[in-house]
Structure 1
């Protein structure tokens, strides 16, 4: 690619339409993770993110992005801790409630246990990672929250909930489908 072509593409990047940006990035599947904490009265708070990722092995660090206006983020920053809960494929309703519900109603009919740091570990999830806030970095219209892992555990072998092309689904391993077809399970019930 010529130097002029690189400059032209860089200049055009500043003019990217927001809807096009969302539509194209919607083709990248993301995990659905509930980020939870409690306030000074031990009331649970939570939000859903599709940006949870590992950052470092030594020291063990993870991160997520949150909108600057998030009230849950303010509570996480005040508490100095959070728990990342990997939601299971059958927890779409919980995900929607945590993403859009009123703060005091997000945990209605939701059972949870306190993590070692006191954060909510939701029942029925795939896994959880309990963290102390290590750093918060301003990036665009979001804040990057980096957490130092204090404890973590796999809770079940359920398939995780995913978000893809504007909708929810769960992960089904193509290897599992291949094994099923080799064993002949796909023929049962036909």
Structure 2
């Protein structure tokens, strides 16, 4: 939509002007309009399970098989997790809202009471989920205040039910 040459106004007429709406709170709300799935990313590092939760997971390529997620550059968990030989990714199920909150909490309590499975190379997945991926880190791409992590797939599994957990407008589940 154009009001005059060189001035773009997205959305409903007059909703935004040039340079308006880029403060962090408004940007977060606009990004939150797009629902995303939620994954647990975990591995065994020096005999303990290290992991985090991410809502930026996406498929990237079938050949070679690649997926990605983004992590804040301020993360204290990622520097430790990236030392793992293999990293497990679990697509969380719709009943995992409390698990997702726990995995976003204090690092030393993230996996308390959560049943996990460790692969021979160190990838850790949650036993309940919708899909599971055994991956290695292919590459990191610095992108503003986040790092995009590209993962190469080595093994995958999935089930048809339950449905995946969805993060939308800063809440779990679709807001209706």
Alignment TM-score, normalising by the size of structure 2: 0.86
More strand by share: 2
- The aligned residue for residue 166 of structure 2 is 162
**1:114 and 2:118 are equivalent in the alignment:** yes
Alignment of 1:38-57 (within 5 A): 38-40=44-46, 42-57=47-62
The CA deviation at 1:72 is: 2.2
Question: Aligned to 1:71, what secondary structure does the other structure show?
Answer: coil
Alignment of 1:45-124 (within 5 A): 45-100=50-105, 102-124=106-128
Deviates more, 1:52-61 or 1:155-164: 155-164
More helix by share: 1
The answer to whether the 8 Å contact 2:42/2:49 transfers is yes
Distance in 2, matches of 1:110 and 1:55, equals: 29
Structure 1 runs not aligned, ≥5 long: 171-190
The CA deviation at 1:139 is: 0.4
Distance in 2, matches of 1:150 and 1:76, equals: 18
Structure 1: 4+ residue segments shifted above 6 A: none
The answer to whether the 8 Å contact 1:124/1:156 transfers is no
Match of 1:4 among 6, 9, 12: 6
Alignment TM-score, normalising by the size of structure 1: 0.80
The CA deviation at 1:79 is: 1.4
The answer to whether the 8 Å contact 2:85/2:121 transfers is no
Question: Aligned to 1:137, what secondary structure does the other structure show?
Answer: strand
The answer to whether the 8 Å contact 1:83/1:129 transfers is yes
Residue by residue over 1:29-58, the C-alpha shift from the partner in whole angstroms, topping out at 9 and shown as x without a partner, is 010111111212x21111111100111111
Distance in 1, matches of 2:159 and 2:119, equals: 12
Distance in 2, matches of 1:148 and 1:128, equals: 13
- The aligned residue for residue 151 of structure 1 is 155
Structure 2 runs not aligned, ≥5 long: 9-15
- The aligned residue for residue 138 of structure 1 is 142
